[in-house]
Chain A
């Protein structure tokens, strides 16, 4: 160690001066974890351990041989640890009260989970995480019906059944429309709910539905007959129900282990007690669900980028160029530092959302956009640093690049999210006289 290194040089300080110097022993991940309240720090370690043990080792194999992937064993491993029933505390679910009390936002742990799982594999993580998105409207509806369904579904999951949920808003002719105010007002929404004896008859198609291929419960949004999107109402559709079927499973560029499937409803009779919230409350419920989920989507991006950086770093340490390791070259170090800075900034913005008790549209959209764009850039930089090796599947970085690209698209494209931020703060900030 050179005498000019801080650790050495700080010995020359006074006793109090030495006490004011940060002594860093752990890696950056550990240091950041230490900044969390201890229940959440513990939870973060649990997520990481699970991801390292069950997700990371299979990431490349599943991406390459998708047809052979059975999601349920992994699902049950996660469920056994309580990771799939975290919206309700004991005795209904596995949310830890200390976690909920540690941060203003009750869903902060979801963001931690998303990052850790996605650092291991964006696809398998999506398969596990999309379930939370499907369940969110039940919780956010603030109704007894919603709570009761949540409780019943959680009890089946805890009993070990193959049960997952999915969130269905996107339609073949209305993608971004259902995530934006102005577009929605003029959009052609085709999913319809018609009052019928005992409940509602649902007709329509939803596309790109994450976990649509495996979900037994779908929070399905449809407009009431002869009305527009403002009449959207949320229904809990069960599979199987008569008239419910699945269409094509999309062939995606990345995040492959998490399916994106078309759902088709033809005269599906949904009982009254499957309506989540009052009639016409669906549009607000959809938007609020996105407010809660977008920080988690930001965390997905952070996780994927972190995975790319970790794998790139591994390569830079293992690869010798001339008489030294790639990581020892100054220009490589500058690139690695830049990636770390960007990643830290993206995570900071995601964690910033956790400071709000109720996440709102502007801050959620900001986290989703910034983390998504940053992750894609980091993955590309990681690929480039590795030269030709960067695009080989075996190193896992090109997969991260493919995985990360989806984060600029789903839950509203990043263009839509930017406009969502403007809309949210228009009267308070941007258009203020």
Chain B
């Protein structure tokens, strides 16, 4: 069981993230472009490092412990990181995704028994081809899975040779290394490698234009017999499969927390707008039709937060905890997206324009619905778990 932080400590963390989001991230969005001035992103990430919010594998970095998905996750569980992500996402889902992706790449390095020397910016690569087939292979024999993990590591000489493809790899922009989950050619077991971005045979391709979360990097990777030193293979205290399950669980929790944060940001903006603008001679907020939208949004956001909290608190076997996270994302995403679109509606025509950033929130949350596990995939996993009791 993880150690619990005191209420005061949690409040201090939350305040720090909220303040960072307001002072450091919000100015990026003052720029007149759909996703703000993305050229400010490196400076924001740098300040995030200094503030200890951005996870880092470097021993001397503040974020190694206190960062989002930093080593505090190993002692206190995922609740703190989820809370921090939610706070950042209140202002910008895309920047929150950067912090989340960096944490996802960092945490396995902190968890490993033999952490190799790693650069600052690491991204985790789970998905292959269509969505997250890795989820299926966690539960089915490799050959029977609807989509097997094709990225394979073979022993070659003193090290390994990695071949295959990974898709939809999120990062904090320009990763220097990737954390790659592959299967062993020898026994089909999961393996995890740290792969330098400049490794020979590794091709990274930008995923191209997309609806939202544009602050975060998004790439597809191709490994063409990439030679890796044995020291780059990570070993964990728990079986590799459990380590992967835990990683996927945290990914789902993080994405859900970001969605909850985006919805909270949308509600705060809608509340403010509705209290300032008039329709039919009355403040918008005085109209029952608008009150209904605000109330629905408020209730949905509370449900999102409860779902994240429940997933964070899950205990027991790795599969049981993973199941909670799958349930959470499945329920939270439509609730968060519903809240965002209802809040956008309060703005009328202005909600559809870039000015109030409501359309950005809708784009961001729409991406989150499918990122890291679309509803169909999550339902399939849950159904399988239900079948097995």
Contact = CB atoms under 8 A, between A and B. Distances in A.
Interface of A: 64, 170, 173, 175-177, 180, 182-188, 207-208, 250-254, 260, 319, 321-322, 326, 331-332, 335, 376, 380, 383-394, 398, 401-402, 405-406, 408-410, 413-415, 418-419
Contacts of A398: 210-211, 363, 366
B209 A384 contact: no
B353 interface: yes
11 contacts: A180-B280, A207-B349, A331-B376, A331-B380, A385-B374, A385-B376, A388-B374, A392-B210, A401-B211, A405-B344, A410-B349
Interface string B126-160: 01001101000000000001111000000000000
B196 interface: no
B370 A392 contact: no
B278 A253 contact: no
B280 A405 contact: no
Nearest to A182: B280
Contact of B374 (A207, A260, A387): A387
Contacts of A393: 208-211
Contact of B208 (A175, A394, A418): A394
B377 A208 contact: no
B345 interface: yes
Interface string B36-74: 000000000000000000000000000000000000000
Contact of B281 (A187, A326, A389, A391): A187
The 8 A-B pairs at the shortest CB distance, nearest first, are namely: A183-B280, A186-B281, A393-B209, A253-B359, A387-B131, A322-B146, A398-B211, A251-B354
B251 interface: no
A388 B218 CA distance: 11
A326 B371 CA distance: 18
Contacts of A183: 279-281
Given A253-B353, A387-B374, A388-B167, A64 B209 contact: yes
A161 to B, nearest CB: 30
B279 A175 contact: yes
Contact of B376 (A176, A380, A384, A408): A384
A405 B341 contact: yes
A250 B355 CA distance: 9
B223 interface: no
Given A388-B168, A392-B209, A252 B279 contact: no
A387 B349 contact: no
B352 A253 contact: yes
Contacts of A322: 145-148
Contacts of B133: 321
A177 B209 contact: no
A206 to B, nearest CB: 12
Nearest to A170: B349
Given A331-B376, A401-B366, A392 B207 contact: yes
Given A186-B280, A392-B210, 5 more contacts: A187-B281, A321-B147, A384-B369, A384-B374, A385-B374
Contact of A326 (B130, B359, B380): B130
Given A182-B280, A383-B366, A415-B289, A388 B127 contact: yes
A389 B218 CA distance: 12
Nearest to B354: A251
